[in-house]
């Protein structure tokens, strides 16, 4: 039994996320995967009940099976979130008169502090003279500098266009999740490095590509390759997790540790909720505890 034929509301919802909400490809895949899994379960276990007849008990039954399969709480919360969005849209379009999600409770998460790279380790990494003097070496170093200086996401960096760099106002315009734009101030030194990189790109690459970062053949960077070289570089200086996202955590944590306003960090990161940014206050508190233990005679 085909899921999309049985539940045509699913494709309508996914089209809504893609064309109206402008969700990223990665986010769309996550929604589709989670919702397909849910409706496949309904087809196999409950003979495909109509959307308007789905009750909380059916959803709890599916969640119970996920727990039995030892799916982690974070993944279960994501699936519940996908269902909430789906039924909220069905309510909006009149497909259902009541959402079955009102009594569904998401499992609690164990709070973990974001992993980050220490300031001295970042300085050591960027000061090292082990970047080759060719296109790849220069690109890798500049990408590391940009991640650390802006806190942008991997997808934002790969899709960064030349016209998003504003030299006169010393800022970069970033297009983030949900196609939302935000402004990130950057130092003149970094703007100059970006301009030099763009000039060299135009000189060496005959294809007209608007993206700032491309391969030597003019193709867009592969996210996996960026992840790979970031991992390779970071493993020489830190035991923290080694991914582009860790540099985003590092950017935010260093700002907080040096007294930045929480709301300002929220805007710089492009968070829609302050709650997502507040996790970085825990790292700054841990830093204060560390300073206290080292400096106070009664600690």
Residues involved in catalysis: 153, 177, 245, 248, 271, 280
CA distance 285 to 282: 5
CA distance 113 to 191: 32
Contacts 24+ apart (CB under 8 A), 273-282: 277/252, 279/111, 279/113, 279/114, 280/114, 280/249, 280/252, 280/253, 280/255, 280/256, 281/256, 282/111, 282/113
Sheet holding 171-175, edge to edge: 165-166, 171-175, 181-185
CA distance 151 to 145: 10
**Joined tokens for residue 225:** 């390759």
Number of other CB atoms surrounding residue 55 within 10 Å: 12
Burial of residue 212 (CB within 10 Å: 0-12, 13-18, 19+) is buried
CA distance 28 to 15: 9
Give me the residue label for tokens 């973990």: 112
């Amino acid at each position: 039994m085909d899921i999309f034929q049985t539940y045509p509301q699913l494709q309508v919802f996914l089209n809504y996320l893609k064309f109206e909400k402008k969700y990223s490809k990665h986010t769309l895949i996550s929604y589709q995967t989670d919702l397909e899994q849910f409706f496949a379960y309904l087809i196999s276990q409950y003979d495909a009940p109509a959307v308007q007849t789905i009750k909380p008990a059916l959803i709890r039954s599916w969640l119970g099976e996920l727990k039995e399969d030892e799916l982690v709480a974070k993944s279960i919360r994501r699936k519940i979130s996908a269902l909430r969005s789906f039924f909220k849209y069905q309510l909006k379009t009149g497909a259902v008169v009541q959402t079955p999600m009102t009594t569904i409770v998401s499992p609690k998460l164990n709070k973990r502090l974001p992993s980050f790279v220490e300031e001295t380790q970042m300085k050591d990494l960027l000061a090292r003279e082990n970047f080759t003097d060719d296109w790849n070496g220069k690109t890798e170093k500049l990408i590391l500098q940009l991640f650390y200086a802006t806190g942008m996401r991997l997808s934002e960096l790969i899709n960064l266009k030349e016209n998003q760099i504003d030299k006169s106002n010393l800022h970069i315009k970033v297009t983030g999740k949900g196609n939302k734009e935000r402004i990130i101030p950057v130092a003149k030194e970094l703007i100059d490095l970006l301009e030099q990189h763009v000039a060299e790109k135009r000189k060496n690459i005959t294809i007209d590509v608007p993206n700032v970062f491309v391969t030597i053949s003019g193709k867009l960077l592969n996210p996996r390759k960026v992840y790979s070289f970031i991992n390779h570089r970071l493993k020489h200086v830190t035991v923290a997790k080694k991914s582009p996202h860790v540099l985003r955590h590092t950017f935010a944590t260093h700002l907080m540790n040096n007294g930045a306003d929480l709301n300002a960090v929220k805007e710089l990161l492009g968070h829609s909720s302050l709650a997502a940014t507040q996790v970085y206050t825990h790292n700054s508190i841990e830093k204060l505890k560390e300073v206290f233990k080292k400096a106070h005679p009664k600690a």
